[in-house]
Copies of this chain bind each other. A is one copy, B any other.
């Protein structure tokens, strides 16, 4: 039985790392975040990283009604991990009311809703700040949880107030509360995919140093070197964010194993103190760069020493830190070098199709350039493709048109909708011709892919990765993990699409993936493909029954003088053209072949399609419903039509065991 956890502030620095660890430990996660100081991008990446869907709601905790809807929709939430809150000490002194309103007010609403929906477990993000300057107590080098609390700033007061609320509430009824007092979280996930992305000027030492190291900031300010410490700079207990995230899993496990009421606080720290200068040295070593620094005056509210006595968490939660500051600095450096602007990426923009629909975002790659791709989670589809500012694809259409979408689990037709696999016969829903096309009602066009995970490895190059866990259905056995990777190369105006498939459960499945974009190379001037000049690599086609024959169409072959010109009446094609006799199950390492060249004399835009696939369906779009007939033509490189029912080709569309399916398509424009 999977336990469902609501994570407030789950898109933030610590929250996103906690989601990763919770998923890895078998918890199901629902995230709410007001995104006031975080980005949904973190969660999009976490989902791809974990290959798991995480429902997300942009909710402000003080908004009772909206938060109530989340509890209503997820009536099986068992626990809450409460990260949400404003967290800048300095800012809290400027706008204390916002801090009380958000932190205290938000927590009270959350607890009221937990009470209403009978959710009794809560892990709360407190802070070592609640101790204040505990050096007033003699003999305390490592601060124990029993130390009297006396925070010295409004941020600390809000955490302290919430701790009091939790104690009072726990005493009033049946609740289990874990209060985690964080020391100084640093570092990033070792994948380099998620990390701290402070809005504006970073408040904390490490993010600030990192921004100096990548050139975003000029110089590090060291706030005071006249403290009574070994080198005069304040000592803090720095803890790797991944360790911290694991502490939440430990606390949640602890709560779940206890049957009695409880409200306990635990320090999450290493027990080891580092000075500012020591951290400076460690980070400088990790990044290998010079980091300018200046010693300036003390910052108000800073205490000289804040190091955890970590034994209570070790004894009771069975948790202790496993990573050191060296690893934290290396992971941080990986994160900032891969993401110098955090979750913002030059040339990438993301927008929602409708409010709160985070499962259906439109992401633009190459924004502001001469070659732009707009993709959507729904069907991992191509929503738009702009060549020198001109749109050359139809974009979303009627579901039956498959316009722009990824086609799977099985592209193209299956004769009679039947196939045999491992001695069992499968029957799919069939269309009016008695066959199944594009997996019929179960096509990827209607599925929401996770991601995209966008990388910009070099200037002008964008890689966007979608992920789908395609669960077994009546027509298809076995669970399938599907990857769709778009690589946009601005300089060569090439869009490279890779498909990947591996089994995640079950024995075998038919597989055949492609993209179903309709192209119109003169869309800006004409609603149809009228006048488009086409040449194909071959005129050889295979029918559904395996018959091979040739069609009348211009090929690359020099013998034809003219290209085939598409007009509104004809010629009409909807055929599987054959360019190779053989293919690997994973064709991505196979030879790339040019299969189609199209151009339009009016727009002067040319398209070349290349693929590692042995065949391609070429369709002149004669039966479109959401658009005019022949509004665009489709080129769908894939395995041979009906290959699953053809003994010679069956193995090229049958994924089993640990093997991998792969294919590659490139659209190149000039």
Give the interface of A toward B (CB within 8 A). Answer: 92-97, 99-101, 104-105, 108-109, 111-112, 115, 153-154, 157, 161, 164-165, 168-169, 171-172
Chain B residues with CB below 8 A from A94, complex form: 172
Q: A157-B168, A164-B157, A168-B154 are in contact. Are A100 and B93 (CB under 8 A)?
A: no
In Å, the complex CA distance between A62 and B96 comes to: 18
Q: How far is the CA of A492 from the CA of B111 in the complex (A)?
A: 59
The answer to whether A95 touches B164 (Cβ under 8 A) is no
Give the residue among A95, A96, A154, A171 with the most B Cβ atoms within 10 A. A96
B-chain residues with CB within 8 Å of residue A164 when the two chains form the complex: 157, 161
- Cα–Cα, bound, A153→B164 (Å): 10
Residue pair A108, B100 in contact (C-beta under 8 Å): yes
Q: How far is the CA of A95 from the CA of B164 in the complex (A)?
A: 14
Which of B101, B112, B171 contacts A108, CB < 8 Å? B101
- A165 cross-chain contacts in B, Cβ below 8 A: 96-97, 100, 157
Closest chain B residue to A109 by CB distance?
B101
Contact among B96, B112, B161 with A161 in the assembled complex (CB-CB below 8 Å): B161
User: CA A161 – CA B97 in complex, angstroms?
Assistant: 12
User: Contact at B96–A168, with CB atoms within 8 Å?
Assistant: yes
Task: Name the residue in A101, A164, A168, A172 with the highest tally of chain B Cβ atoms < 10 Å from its Cβ.
Answer: A168
**A105-B105, A157-B168 given as contacts; is B93 within 8 A of A112 (CB)?**
no
- Contact across chains for B104 and A169 when beta carbons are under 8 A apart: no
With both beta carbons as reference points, the residue of chain B lying nearest to A155 in the complex is identified as B168
Min CB gap A87→B, angstroms: 15
Q: With a CB–CB cut-off of 8 A, which chain B residues contact A105?
A: 104-105, 108
19 A-B pairs in the complex with CB atoms less than 8 angstroms apart:
A92-B168, A93-B172, A94-B172, A96-B171, A96-B172, A97-B108, A97-B111, A97-B165, A100-B104, A100-B165, A101-B109, A101-B112, A104-B105, A104-B108, A105-B105, A154-B168, A154-B172, A157-B168, A161-B161
Q: Cβ of A112: which chain B residues have Cβ within 8 Å of it?
A: 97, 101
Report the bound CA distance from A112 to B157 in whole Å: 18
Of B96, B104, B115, the residue contacting A104 (CB under 8 A) is B104
Contacts A96-B168, A153-B168 aside, 10 further interface pairs with beta carbons under 8 A come to: A92-B168, A93-B168, A94-B172, A95-B172, A96-B171, A96-B172, A97-B172, A100-B108, A104-B104, A157-B161
Question: In the complex, which residues of chain B have a beta carbon less than 8 angstroms from the beta carbon of A115?
Answer: 97
Tell me the complex Cα distance, A95–B168, Å.
9
Copies in the complex: 2
The distance in angstroms between the C-alpha atoms of A567 and B100, with both chains bound, is: 73
Shortest A68–chain B CB gap in Å is 14
CA distance A165 to B93 in the complex (A): 11
Whole-angstrom CA separation of A135 from B436 in the bound complex: 85
Q: A101 to B153: give the CA distance in the assembly, Å.
A: 22
Nearest chain B residue, comparing its CB with the CB of A115: B97
Q: In the complex, A96 Cα to B169 Cα: how many Å?
A: 6
B-chain residues with CB within 8 Å of residue A101 when the two chains form the complex: 108-109, 112
Q: Which of A100, A112, A164 has the most CB of B within 10 A?
A: A100
Bound state CA distance, A108 and B154, in angstroms? 13
In the assembled complex, the Cα of A101 lies from the Cα of B113 at a distance in Å of: 12
Nearest 6 CB-CB pairings of A with B: A96-B168, A154-B168, A161-B161, A100-B108, A101-B108, A157-B164
* Complex Cα–Cα for A100 and B112 (A): 10
Distance in angstroms between the alpha carbons of A204 and B165 in the assembled complex: 25
Chain B proximity of A82: nearest CB distance (Å): 14
Q: How far is the CA of A471 from the CA of B526 in the complex (A)?
A: 80
**Distance of A68 Cα from B386 Cα, bound (Å):** 50
Distance in angstroms from A417 CB to nearest chain B CB is 58
- Residues from chain B with a CB closer than 8 A to the CB of A172 are 93-97, 154
Closest CB in chain B relative to A154 CB, distance in Å: 4
Cβ–Cβ < 8 Å partners of A108 in chain B: 97, 100-101, 104-105
Task: For A111, list chain B residues within 8 Å (CB).
Answer: 97
In the complex, residue of chain B having the shortest beta-carbon distance to the beta carbon of A166: B96
Distance to closest chain B CB from A158 (angstroms) = 9
Complex Cα distance, B162 from A96, in Å, reads 12
User: With a CB–CB cut-off of 8 A, which chain B residues contact A95?
Assistant: 172
Chain B residue numbers with a CB within 8 Å of A171 are: 93, 96
- Return chain B residues, CB-CB under 8 Å to A93: 168, 171-172
Give the complex CA separation of A613 and B161 in angstroms.
68
Nearest CB on B from A112, distance (A): 6
Q: Closest chain B residue to A164 by CB distance?
A: B157
Q: Could you tell me the distance between the alpha carbons of A164 and B161 in the complex, rounded to whole angstroms?
A: 9
Q: Which residue of B lies closest to A111 (CB)?
A: B97
Q: In the assembly, what is the distance between CA of A111 and CA of B111, in Å?
A: 23
Q: Smallest CB-CB separation from A114: which chain B residue?
A: B97
Give complex CA distance A105, B106 in Å. Answer: 9
Q: For residue A112, which residue of chain B has the nearest CB?
A: B97
Residues in chain B near residue A96, CB distance under 8 A: 165, 168-169, 171-172
User: Given the complex of chains A and B, what is the CA–CA distance between A168 and B154 in angstroms?
Assistant: 6
Residues of B within 8 A of A168 (CB): 92-93, 96, 99-100, 153-154, 157
**From A93, A101, A115, A171, residue with most partner B Cβ within 10 Å:** A101
Q: How far is the CB of A79 from chain B (nearest CB, A)?
A: 18
- Bound Cα distance from A530 to B265, whole angstroms: 84
Q: Nearest B residue to A170 by beta-carbon distance?
A: B96
* A151: nearest chain-B partner, CB-CB: B164
User: Of all chain B residues, which has the CB nearest A107?
Assistant: B100
| A104 and B97 alpha carbons, distance in the complex (Å) | 11
State the CA gap A314–B97 with chains docked (Å). Answer: 32
